[in-house]
Amino acid sequence: MSVLVTGGAGYIGSHTCIEMQNAGYDVIVIDNLDNSSKESLKRVEAITGKAVKFYENDVRDKDALRKIFTENKIEAVIHFAGLKAVGESVREPMMYYNNNLISTIALIEVMTEFGVKKLVFSSSATVYGVATEMPLKEGMPTGAINPYGRTKLFIEEMLRDLYVADSEWSIALLRYFNPIGAHKSGTIGEDPKGIPNNLMPYISQVAVGKLEKLHVFGNDYKTVDGTGVRDYIHVVDLAIGHVKAIEWALGNKGCEAINLGTGNGTSVLQLRDAFVKASDVQVPYIIDPRRPGDPDEVYANADKAAQLLGWRATRGIEEMCEDSWRWQKNNPNGYEK
């Protein structure tokens, strides 16, 4: 059975291609390589021993999508393609609305033309906005505090409207918490362009000597040690969550928001310490002021994924750090030769 993976050359997409192929699916990828390289898919093929059919196209290009749906018998779609940097979305909001919204609209229209109504969408815990209560549960109020977050929220709402209008659809809105880690092979992983915004790639680039020290954004939060707490999830667990979501979509109809997190919180300094232990490399740090807009704590209630998809994350912080480090150490410049 063939599944189209948009944005499949990216960080989460490439890991999901592996788990989908391992589960027996044929994987077709569309990616414009805006934030990735073809090399990731070559490495996916080397890991699984199975071919990935690749189309280098923009998801906003409806003719390109029609060609893909004509040439392949696609049963379902996992939609990762999108821009994801919060700071950039504040500086370039129209670029984010254009890319994230138009690509999703084009995809839905072409899926409808071809009668394919099973979709797994990459949403984010960011759709909970400024939450007053933890852990986050799917039924809690949503909101957004930046253009990136608004694109995710608008798309969720749009997909809910789609299901209300046509109950033949099966749509899983997967709200990811903080994906880190890499495939055990150490050959694929997160490859951010420029200086990383997110914590784990920053820590690993300090460890490998590309950055001098970690800047801890604030140590006066109401948390275990004053530094921000997040729900880090191993990207392979997350990828397996997509296989489960596809299985759900193939056997059910509906539109469901589902948290993909572990339910456990880890502070910045706890993650840094776990990384030092796993890598046996020093990660010097200084305490800087808070990053504007960062909440004290964000973590999931992960029960709905267990009930609906039969999925729970199984990999702990230590394994996440070991696997992030193996990827970084073996590929100090990411996919660049």
Q: What amino acid positions are annotated as catalytic residues?
A: 148
The CB density around residue 139, as the number of other CB atoms within 10 Å, is 9
Residues 19-38 that bind ligand UD1 (CB under 6 A): none
Calpha distance 199→268 (Å, rounded):
8
Calpha distance 135→191 (Å, rounded):
30
33 binds ligand NAD (CB under 6 A): yes
Residues 290-329 that bind ligand NAD (CB under 6 A): none
Selected range binding ligand NAD among 9-17, 181-189, 220-228, 255-263, rule: CB under 6 A: 9-17
Find out whether 270 and 216 touch, Cβ atoms under 8 Å.
Answer: no
Q: How far is the CB of 280 from ligand NAD (least distance, A)?
A: 26
125 binds ligand UD1 (CB under 6 A): yes
Number of residues that bind ligand NAD (CB under 6 A): 27
For ligand NAD, the closer of residues 38 and 253 by Cβ is 38
Number of residues that bind ligand UD1 (CB under 6 A): 18
Q: How far is the CB of 197 from ligand UD1 (least distance, A)?
A: 5
Q: How far is the CB of 37 from ligand UD1 (least distance, A)?
A: 21
Nearest to 218 by CA among 281, 182, 267: 267
Please list, in sequence order, all residues whose beta carbon lies within 8 angstroms of the beta carbon of residue 331, skipping any fewer than 6 positions away.
186, 187, 189, 191
Q: How far is the CB of 187 from ligand NAD (least distance, A)?
A: 16
> Backbone dihedral region of 82: left (phi > 0), alpha (psi from -120 to 50 degrees) or beta?
left
Calpha distance 318→209 (Å, rounded):
21
Q: Which of 117, 230, 304, 326 binds ligand UD1 (CB under 6 A)?
A: 230
Q: Is 125 helix (H, G, I), strand (E, B) or coil?
A: helix
For ligand NAD, the closer of residues 114 and 335 by Cβ is 335
Calpha distance 55→70 (Å, rounded):
13
Calpha distance 330→321 (Å, rounded):
14
Calpha distance 82→30 (Å, rounded):
12
Q: Which of 52, 81, 188, 199 binds ligand UD1 (CB under 6 A)?
A: 199
Q: Which of 19, 39, 58, 156 binds ligand NAD (CB under 6 A)?
A: 58
Tell me which residue has tokens 């706890």: 270
* Residues lying near ligand UD1 in the complex (CB under 6 A): 86, 124-126, 178, 197-199, 202, 215-217, 228, 230, 268, 291, 294, 298
Q: Which residues bind ligand NAD (CB under 6 A)?
A: 7, 9-13, 30-36, 58-60, 80-84, 99, 103, 122, 124, 176, 179
